[in-house]
C-alpha cells in the first residue's frame, strides 16, 4: 500500500501572465478572508511573504480558530492510493460521495494472482488464513479459466459480443483494433465475477482537505487493519499540504460506535441463515435483481411538465428542466453483483445504501448464447466453475454470521447485495442514459433498463425524450 499526495503547480502560461500561485492552505486563507472584509484579492496577496507562504496563512488569519469547517473545503488535495483492496476502494468511494477521480478497471485490466493482498494485512484471523488463501486461489483460478472461456465464446460466436455489425465488417486497422479491444472487454466483463474483493487496485481522488480529513476519520475508526493503515498514510501525506487540519484526522468514537452498530445489525441478519440461492441444493445461485423505483414529484409537476423539461434534451449532458431537478427518486435492486456495485457506487449525487450481506452469486451464465453447439466445452466449463463463486460467497456469509468483520475479504465480486440510490430525477435519467447502450457494461445496462421501465409505466410520454441506450462504444 502506498499513498502519494500530488501538488498542482502553475502552467508556463500562468507564470508568463504573472498569475498568483498559492499553497493549498494559503488559497483557503485568501478565499476565507473575503468573509471578513472586502479589500479585494490584490490587497490580500500583498500581505503574503513569498519566502514564507506557510507563515503567511496565519498573517491573513488564524486558520484553526476561524470557526467554519467550510474553510477546509477551499484546500484542494489530490492523492493516489496504490495497492488497496477492491473492498477498501469501494468503501473509500462510498464515503467520498462528491470526489472526482478514477480507479483501475477490472473491465480493461488483467488481474494477476500476485495482486492478492496478504491475509495478515487484511486482518484475516490466523486460524482461517490457510483456508482463506486456498479459497482465494480457487477464485483466481476460476477467473483465469472463465476469462479463457469467454474469450473462446467471443471468437466462436461473434454475435454474442454485441459489437456493431458495421464495426466487425470494417477491415481498417483502426476498426479492427477497436474490435479486438471490445472482444477483450466482453471477456473481462463476464469473467470478473470470480475476482476476490481482496485483490489490489489503485485509486486516484481529488477533493478538499475537509473531505480527506473526514475520510481519515472513517478509515481510522474501522476495526480492520487495512483501512486503519490507509488512514495513517493519508494523514502523513495530508500533513504536507494541510498541516493545520491534522488534529481532526483521527479516529472518532461516534464513528467507531456507528460502524460497530451497523456491523452488528448485519451480523444479526446473517445469523438467521443463508439465502436460498446460496444453499448447496439451490436451482440457481444468482438472486433475481428485481428493480424498484419510488418517485416523489415536485409540487406542480406532472407528465406534461416532465416532457417539457426534456424538450431540449438532445444528449445526456444537455438541458433538463427544473421540474425533474425538484423530483426526488429512490431506485434500488434486491441483488446487484459487487462488480457492478463498484461502478454504480461512484455516481456522485445523492446518497447510496448497500449493506454488504450477500444474497446470491452471479456469474453471467444467462449471457451464454442459446445455441451452444459451437461453444460446448466453454459453456460446460463456465457452468461447472460457477459453484466456486457460490461457495466463496457462502463462506463469506458464514464468517459474517460468526461476527468477524474481515468477512468482506472472502467475498468474490459476483456476490450480490441490495443496492439503493436516493437522488433526483434528472440525475437518475443521466445515470440511466450513461449506463445503457453499446458502450455500457451489459449487467448494469440491464439494471438501469429495468428501473427505467418502472419510470415509463408512470410517465410513458417521456420515453421518446430519454436517451436510453445512447452510451457510445468504449
Q: How far apart are CA 309 and CA 356, in angstroms?
A: 37
Return d(Cα 240, Cα 459) in angstroms, integer.
52
Closest CA to 393 of 446, 345, 447, 357: 357
Q: Which long-range contacts (C-beta less than 8 Å, at least 24 apart) are formed by 306-311?
A: 306/425, 306/459, 306/461, 306/462, 307/461, 307/462, 307/465, 309/426, 310/429, 310/462, 310/465, 310/466, 311/465
**pLDDT at residue number 29:** 78
Residue spans of the chain under pLDDT 70: 53-54, 56-70, 372, 472-474
Helix (H, G, I), strand (E, B) or coil at 321: coil
For the entire predicted model, the pTM comes to: 0.91
The pLDDT value recorded for residue 430 is 94
Nearest to 254 by CA among 221, 223, 213: 221
Pairing of strands 415-424, 360-361: antiparallel
CA distance 352 to 349: 9
Strand segments, DSSP code E, in 321-377 are: 328-337, 351-353, 360-361
Q: Number of C-alpha atoms within 13 angstroms, CB side, residue 90? A: 27
- Contacts by 236-241, CB closer than 8 A, 24 or more apart: 236/3, 237/3, 237/4, 237/5, 237/79, 238/5, 238/77, 238/209, 238/212, 238/213, 240/5, 240/7, 241/5, 241/7, 241/23, 241/24, 241/25, 241/75, 241/77, 241/209
Which helix (H) or strand (E) covers residue 81, if one does? strand 76-85
Distance CA 22, CA 30 (A): 9
In the CATH hierarchy, which fold is given to the domain comprising 276-465? Gyrase A; domain 2 (3.30.1360)
CB neighbour class for 272 (10 Å; exposed up to 12, middle 13-18, buried from 19): exposed
Rounded (10°) CA dihedral 391, 395, 396, 398: 140
Nearest to 73, CA basis, from 231, 213, 233, 239: 213
Close Cβ partners of 114 (under 8 Å, ≥ 6 residues apart): none
Distance, CA of 104 to CA of 67 (rounded, Å): 38
Per CATH, domain 1-106+198-251 is 3.10.20.340 = no
What residues does CATH 3.30.1360.170 cover in the chain?
1-106+198-251, 276-465
Amino acid at each position: 500500500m502506498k499513498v502519494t499526495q500530488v501538488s498542482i503547480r502553475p502552467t508556463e502560461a500562468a507564470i508568463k501572465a504573472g498569475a498568483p500561485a498559492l499553497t493549498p492552505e494559503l488559497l483557503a486563507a485568501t478565499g476565507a478572508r473575503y468573509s471578513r472584509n472586502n479589500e479585494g484579492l490584490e490587497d490580500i496577496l500583498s500581505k503574503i511573504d513569498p519566502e514564507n507562504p506557510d507563515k503567511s496563512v496565519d498573517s491573513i488569519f488564524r486558520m484553526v480558530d476561524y470557526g467554519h469547517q467550510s474553510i477546509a473545503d477551499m484546500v484542494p488535495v489530490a492523492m493516489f492510493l496504490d495497492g488497496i483492496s477492491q473492498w477498501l476502494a469501494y468503501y473509500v468511494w462510498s464515503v467520498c460521495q462528491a470526489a472526482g477521480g478514477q480507479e483501475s478497471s477490472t473491465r480493461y485490466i488483467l488481474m494477476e494472482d500476485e495482486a492478492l493482498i496478504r491475509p495478515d494485512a487484511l486482518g484475516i484471523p490466523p486460524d482461517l488464513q490457510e483456508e482463506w488463501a486456498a479459497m482465494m486461489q480457487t477464485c483466481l483460478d476460476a477467473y483465469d479459466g472463465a476469462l479463457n472461456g469467454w474469450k473462446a465464446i467471443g471468437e466462436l460466436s461473434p454475435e454474442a459480443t454485441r459489437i456493431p455489425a458495421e464495426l466487425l465488417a470494417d477491415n481498417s486497422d483502426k476498426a479492427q483494433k477497436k474490435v479486438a479491444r471490445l472482444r477483450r472487454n466482453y471477456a473481462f466483463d463476464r469473467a470478473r465475477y470470480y475476482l476476490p474483493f481482496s485483490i489490489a487496485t489503485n485509486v486516484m481522488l481529488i477533493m478538499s482537505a475537509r473531505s480527506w480529513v473526514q475520510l481519515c476519520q472513517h478509515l481510522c475508526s474501522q476495526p480492520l487493519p487495512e483501512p486503519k493503515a490507509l488512514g495513517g498514510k493519508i494523514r502523513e501525506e495530508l500533513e504536507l499540504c494541510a498541516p493545520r487540519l491534522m488534529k481532526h484526522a483521527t479516529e472518532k468514537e461516534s464513528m467507531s460506535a456507528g460502524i460497530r452498530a451497523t456491523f452488528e445489525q448485519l451480523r444479526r441478519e446473517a445469523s438467521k441463515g443463508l439465502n436460498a440461492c446460496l444453499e448447496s441444493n439451490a436451482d440457481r445461485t444468482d438472486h433475481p435483481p428485481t428493480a424498484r423505483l419510488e418517485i416523489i414529484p415536485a409540487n406542480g409537476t406532472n407528465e406534461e411538465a416532465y416532457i417539457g423539461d426534456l424538450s431540449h434534451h438532445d444528449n445526456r449532458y444537455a438541458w433538463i428542466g427544473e421540474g425533474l431537478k425538484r423530483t426526488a427518486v429512490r431506485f434500488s435492486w434486491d441483488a446487484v453483483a459487487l462488480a457492478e456495485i463498484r461502478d454504480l457506487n461512484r455516481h456522485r449525487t445523492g446518497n447510496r445504501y448497500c449493506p454488504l450481506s450477500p444474497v446470491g452469486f452471479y456469474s453471467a451464465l444467462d449471457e451464454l448464447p442459446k445455441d451452444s453447439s459451437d461453444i460446448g466445452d466453454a459453456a460446460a466449463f463456465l457452468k461447472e466453475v460457477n459453484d466456486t463463486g457460490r461457495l466463496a460467497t457462502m463462506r463469506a456469509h458464514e464468517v459474517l454470521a460468526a461476527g468477524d468483520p474481515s468477512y468482506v475479504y472472502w467475498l468474490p465480486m459476483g456476490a450480490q447485495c441490495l443496492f439503493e440510490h436516493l437522488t433526483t430525477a434528472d440525475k437518475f435519467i443521466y445515470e440511466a442514459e450513461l449506463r445503457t447502450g453499446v458502450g455500457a457494461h451489459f449487467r448494469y445496462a440491464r439494471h438501469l433498463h429495468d428501473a427505467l421501465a418502472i419510470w415509463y409505466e408512470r410517465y410513458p410520454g417521456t420515453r421518446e425524450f430519454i436517451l436510453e441506450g445512447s452510451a457510445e462504444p468504449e
